[in-house]
């Protein structure tokens, strides 16, 4: 394999991923059976500059003396700015002994078992929305104009909440939280949008709750609960038996809401964002 030099990175940044994938399907046709697709790919956001990153992954198959080797393996990829560790506080302590420390807050994993019937969840969703005078509907913001509406609404719902992302909201951030496979739920007070949610299929039998947010003036009135319960109904209708989400550790209101709806903390699935101590102090 060729060394990933600075000049090669610059060259790669001049080509978007769909172009590379399409070229591979032509140059290496034997990949057709296990490549990305049998149809050409198109770049959805050509105005965004391609990003080239270095990622190193590893799977631990033994617990004997591999911890230091693992982080050395990750650090060997180059100037490591951020690492993601899935695990609880004991995992963090393990990383701290090897020169890493937490960067930002923990995102706590929570899971809810969908034990009721789809009809029951639909009934609960309607009741929750009616109780607070809102209407929750599925929304398909696929056109550029609708994606911009979604971006603006997401930016409003993000205000004042614990968050490790920069202020404002980019379309790239929206594309991440509201992927094409997601069901987007919109809460309205009359004709005025007051909340938004995104849930999407994950592993078989499980859906992931990417985001729930409410505009500041409509908070503390039950809109988030209405969106959450509507998400339960949508996931159940699709055959899911479990919903998974992650909560910012400082978002006490959302954590309390999730736990009141049956979500339980699974510390082994927490996301710990780490940085080498030497880099953080530089």
| Chunked mean pLDDT (size 10), the chain, 282 residues | 75 83 74 56 74 68 58 60 68 73 81 96 95 94 93 95 84 89 95 96 93 96 96 96 94 95 92 68 46
pLDDT the model gives residue 2: 64
Q: 118 CB contacts (<8 Å, ≥6 apart)?
A: 233, 236, 237
Structure-token pair, residue 88: 């609880």
What is the number of other CB atoms lying within 10 angstroms of the CB of residue 158?
19
Burial of residue 204, with CB atoms counted within 10 A of its CB: 0-12 exposed, 13-18 middle, 19 or more buried: exposed
Give the integer Cα–Cα distance in Å for 271 and 92: 10
pLDDT the model gives residue 153: 97
Rg (Cα) of the chain, in Å, rounded? 21
| pTM attached to this predicted model | 0.74
CB 173 within 8 A of CB 122: no
Check residue 121 and give left, alpha or beta (phi > 0: left; psi -120 to 50: alpha).
alpha
pLDDT the model gives residue 280: 47
What is the β-pairing status of strands 83-86 and 271-276?
Answer: antiparallel
Structure-token pair, residue 135: 């209407």
117 phi, psi to nearest 5 deg: -80, 160
> How far lies 180's CA from each of 50, 89, 201, in Å?
20, 34, 11
pLDDT the model gives residue 66: 57
Give the integer Cα–Cα distance in Å for 175 and 180: 8
Give the integer Cα–Cα distance in Å for 282 and 277: 9
Give the integer Cα–Cα distance in Å for 162 and 247: 10
List, by residue range, all CATH 3.40.630.30 domains of the chain.
Answer: 115-240
Structure-token pair, residue 32: 């057709």
Q: What's the fold here for domain 115-240?
A: Aminopeptidase (3.40.630)
């Amino acid at each position: 394999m060729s060394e990933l030099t600075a000049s090669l990175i610059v060259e790669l940044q001049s080509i978007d991923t769909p172009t590379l994938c399409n070229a591979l399907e032509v140059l290496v046709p034997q990949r057709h059976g296990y490549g990305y697709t049998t149809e050409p790919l198109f770049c959805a956001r050509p105005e965004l500059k391609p990003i080239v990153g270095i990622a190193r992954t590893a799977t631990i198959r033994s617990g004997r003396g591999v911890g230091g080797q693992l982080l050395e393996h990750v650090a060997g990829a180059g100037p490591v700015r951020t690492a993601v560790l899935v695990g609880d506080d004991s995992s963090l302590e393990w990383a701290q002994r090897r020169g890493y420390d937490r960067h930002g807050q923990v995102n706590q994993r929570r899971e809810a078992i969908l034990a009721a019937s789809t009809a029951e969840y639909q009934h609960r969703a309607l009741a929750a929305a009616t109780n607070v005078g809102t209407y929750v509907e599925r929304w398909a913001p696929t056109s550029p104009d609708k994606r911009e509406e979604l971006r603006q609404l997401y930016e409003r719902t993000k205000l004042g909440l614990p968050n490790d992302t920069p202020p404002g909201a980019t379309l790239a951030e929206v594309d991440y939280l509201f992927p094409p496979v997601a069901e987007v739920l919109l809460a309205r007070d009359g004709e005025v949008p007051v909340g938004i949610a995104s849930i999407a299929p994950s592993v078989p039998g499980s859906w992931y709750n990417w985001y729930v947010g409410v505009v500041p003036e409509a908070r503390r009135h039950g809109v988030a609960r209405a969106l959450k319960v509507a998400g339960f109904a949508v996931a159940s209708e699709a055959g899911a038996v479990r919903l998974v989400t992650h909560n910012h550790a400082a978002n006490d209101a959302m954590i309390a809401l999730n736990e009141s709806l049956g979500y339980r903390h699974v510390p082994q699935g927490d996301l710990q964002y780490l940085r080498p101590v030497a880099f953080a102090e530089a």
